[in-house]
Amino acid sequence: MTTPVDLREVGLRDGLQLEAPVPLATKLEILDAVSRTGVRRVEVTSFVSPTAVPALADAEQVVAELGRWPELRFSALVAGYGGARRAVAAGLPHLEYVISASDGHSLANARRTSDEAVAATADIARLAHDAGGECEAIIAVAWDCPFDGRTPVARTVEVARRAVELGADRICLGDTIGTTVPGRVVELVEAVRAACPGVEVGVHLHDTRGSGIACVLAAVQIGVTQIDAAVGGLGGCPFAPGASGNIATEEVVYLLEESGYSTGLDLGRVLEAAAVVERAVGHALPSGLYRAGGPSRPVPRPV
């Protein structure tokens, strides 16, 4: 049994977005290391306000260099129509449009209600499709919202259903604050699938509270093949220096390959990419596997 799982590397976007800005040349060096891991999909940047996210203010410049890696499928995150237009104009029509499932998070992040964000899917999907691209709807705070508390399953399902109705090609469920657990992942994925038959449902999880890798396994065990992860687990929480955020690509690769799934990624190459990222950001990365030095190492302790 080797079920293929199609990881998406999100370190360049979700990993770097909260870091001090990294020079373009360094980003390209990271991309080069990522390209050698064997990963096929890369979330390469976001087209959002450069004031809000200065680390990704060079989105157009990054996209201009992507011809170097013809084997990779790149996408960019957008938070609204303006960003979508920038991405398409830059030559990257494969969009991930973020819709918050709660009003609290939607108003805080995008100054509009969740329903207004959903409604904008139509124009953004049309823009992507007209440019030959795709539009994935990423549903933020799909499980829990830092402002409104638990997001009702029915609300996330409804956001997904309407986004697909309005033109989204795929759904990705985001555990924005890293609070969900495996049972809730299964419950929500199955509910969204039931409401959106034939539509691929992926997950963007965080490992903030230790349950992230267990959630990935739970998702993969019910057939989810679209998994987001970042080399080294880059992507900390601004309120908690050192707190891990993104699922570490190498930890997912290790878990899945040891569990009978196939990722197509080379674990050694992923660890090399993590070393490149660590040098780029200038601080230790949270990934346990990376810090342990790899898949195996002697430990002289009793148990």
Is 111 a binding residue for a copy of itself by CB under 8 A? The answer is no
Is 296 a binding residue for a copy of itself by CB under 8 A? The answer is yes
- Which amino acid is located at 134 in the chain? E
Phi-psi category of 189—alpha, beta or left, where left has phi over 0 and alpha has psi -120 to 50? alpha
Is 176 a binding residue for a copy of itself by CB under 8 A? The answer is yes
Is 18 a binding residue for a copy of itself by CB under 8 A? The answer is yes
Pairing of strands 3-4, 170-174: unpaired
Q: Looking at the annotation, which residues are catalytic?
A: 237
Q: Is the Cβ of residue 25 or residue 299 nearer to a copy of itself in the bound state?
A: 299
Is 223 a binding residue for a copy of itself by CB under 8 A? The answer is no
Contacting residue, 57, 243, 264, 275, with a copy of itself by CB under 8 A: 243
Is 102 a binding residue for a copy of itself by CB under 8 A? The answer is no
Is 301 a binding residue for a copy of itself by CB under 8 A? The answer is yes
In the block, tokens 């709807």 appear at: 137
Is 207 a binding residue for a copy of itself by CB under 8 A? The answer is yes
Contacting residue, 26, 113, 179, 225, with a copy of itself by CB under 8 A: 179
Radius of gyration of the chain from Cα atoms? 18
Is 291 a binding residue for a copy of itself by CB under 8 A? The answer is yes
In the chain, which ranges are E strands? Answer: 3-4, 6-9, 41-47, 73-78, 95-100, 135-140, 144-145, 149-150, 170-174, 201-204, 226-229, 261-262
Closest distance to a copy of itself from the beta carbon of 289 (Å): 4
Is 107 a binding residue for a copy of itself by CB under 8 A? The answer is no
| CB of 58 closer than 8 Å to CB of 50 | no
Query: What distance in Å separates the CA atoms of residue 294 and residue 252, rounded to the nearest whole number?
Result: 13
Query: What distance in Å separates the CA atoms of residue 303 and residue 251, rounded to the nearest whole number?
Result: 22
Query: What are 187-192's contacts with CB under 8 Å, separation 24+?
Result: 187/153, 188/142, 188/143, 188/153, 188/156, 188/157, 189/219, 189/222, 189/224, 190/222, 191/153, 191/156, 191/157, 192/156, 192/157, 192/160
By CB under 8 A, how many residues form the interface with a copy of itself?
Answer: 66
Is 187 a binding residue for a copy of itself by CB under 8 A? The answer is no
Contacting residue, 22, 79, 90, 124, with a copy of itself by CB under 8 A: 79
User: Site residues (CB under 8 A) for a copy of itself?
Assistant: 14, 17-18, 46, 48, 77, 79, 98, 108-109, 138, 140, 144, 146-147, 174, 176-179, 181-184, 204, 207-211, 213-214, 217, 237-240, 242-244, 248, 250-252, 254-255, 258-260, 284, 286-289, 291-293, 295-303
